[in-house]
Chains A and B, each alone.
Chain A
């Protein structure tokens, strides 16, 4: 069994302990485990794929530097998402600042409006619709709750909000989302009947 394979058998806590002692391979294993969910979250949050890769890199670098502040016994997953969320907020602030300087629409807003996307199909994506009807905070809560399947408590820790506040945000987001998504799926299913295609067919599973 090689070194990396043995690392794959370790839990997050064990890997964090080793990384805190300076083992970069252990941190590499953590980065391997969380690269995809973090990149996916950042991609959705900030809009642009290339930016998301840079932000993912920044997230893990910052996490490595701040690893000393990670409390023993805490969960690594909410912690790394907290770092990613902070990185995303900073990036969005930078984008807004740049767009103000250049007097243009920020990339994230473009993404949310469905403009600047490659084609109509992308614009029709369900999560684009979700982002267009929810506030950024509601979107983050919904993403972490449904996609990452985190508890309201963990989400609260990430967003620095109480568990109750997270549940309230989630409830309001559901009320907003339900009619929109019901309408979206109804139109979508009608579209399938008219123009069957492999892409759309795969989305029928949704």
Chain B
């Protein structure tokens, strides 16, 4: 065992010595011309400025600055995408609601809306003329308020632009009511009444 180790060690030494000596024998001389070429090339590479290179182009600082700029660009892009998606009522990065649930929700809202309007609008025959006018005048405001409440609720859940539709619908409803004509009639009656 020890003999084997000694033999291996001898072989190793012999091999090492042989290879080193062979390499030494064919080792090239130092070439001054090549050295000058190297220095000239290094100088011509555009990195040198009067013996002192402004090494920013090849420095870690440049890497840091580039990474920082790239990070900022990504952050700005994400912010823009988020804001755009929020404004459009879409859920860009969140889970989108199930379309069936949205449809059911919309049906439920639309179904309950006329009922609430019916309750809030008493019949004109049950009221006195003055009171009925007040009711008529205040009805659109109340309707709009109710709609806005529902809009707020809807906006919190952000259902596929339904808030905008409801806003438009409420505006249309308000415009359809002959509030101006009724007001003129009532004003005329009031003027004629002593």
Residues of A within 8 A of B (CB): 20-25, 27-28, 31-32, 35-36, 39-40, 43, 49, 53, 56-57, 60-61, 64-69, 125-127, 130, 142-143, 146-147, 174, 177-178, 181, 185, 202-203, 205-206
> Which of B28-36, B79-87, B170-178, B181-189 is near enough to bind chain A?
B28-36
Q: Is the CB of A57 within 8 A of B41?
A: yes
- Asked, given contacts A20-B55, A25-B51, whether A127 binds B42 with beta carbons under 8 Å apart, the answer is no
**A22 is contacted by which of B16, B53, B60 (Cβ under 8 Å)?**
B53
Contacting residue for A24 out of B23, B28, B48, B59, CB 8 A: B48
- What is the CB-to-nearest-CB distance from B14 to chain A, in angstroms, rounded to a whole number? 9
Q: Which residues of B contact A (CB under 8 A)?
A: 11-12, 15-16, 18-23, 25-31, 34-35, 37-39, 41-43, 45, 47-49, 51-55, 58-60
Which of A22, A27, A40, A146 is the one whose CB lies under 8 Å from B20? A146
Q: A22-B48, A57-B34, A65-B47 are in contact. Are A36 and B28 (CB under 8 A)?
A: yes
CB-defined A-B contacts under 8 Å, sample of 5: A20-B55, A40-B23, A57-B34, A61-B38, A68-B55
User: CA separation between A130 and B23, bound complex, in Å?
Assistant: 11
Is A205 touching B42 in the complex (CB atoms < 8 A)?
no
Q: Which residues of B contact A185 (CB under 8 A)?
A: 18
Min C-beta distance of A17 to chain B, whole Å = 12
Q: What does DSSP make chain A's interface, helix, strand, loop or mixed?
A: helix
Nearest-neighbor residue (CB-CB) of A53 within chain B: B34
Q: Which residue of A lies closest to B54 (CB)?
A: A22
Task: Identify B59's interface contact among A56, A68, A126, A146, CB under 8 A.
Answer: A68
Are the C-beta atoms of B42 and A181 separated by less than 8 Å?
no
Task: Give 5 closest A-B pairs by Cβ, nearest first.
Answer: A22-B53, A126-B22, A146-B19, A147-B23, A22-B52
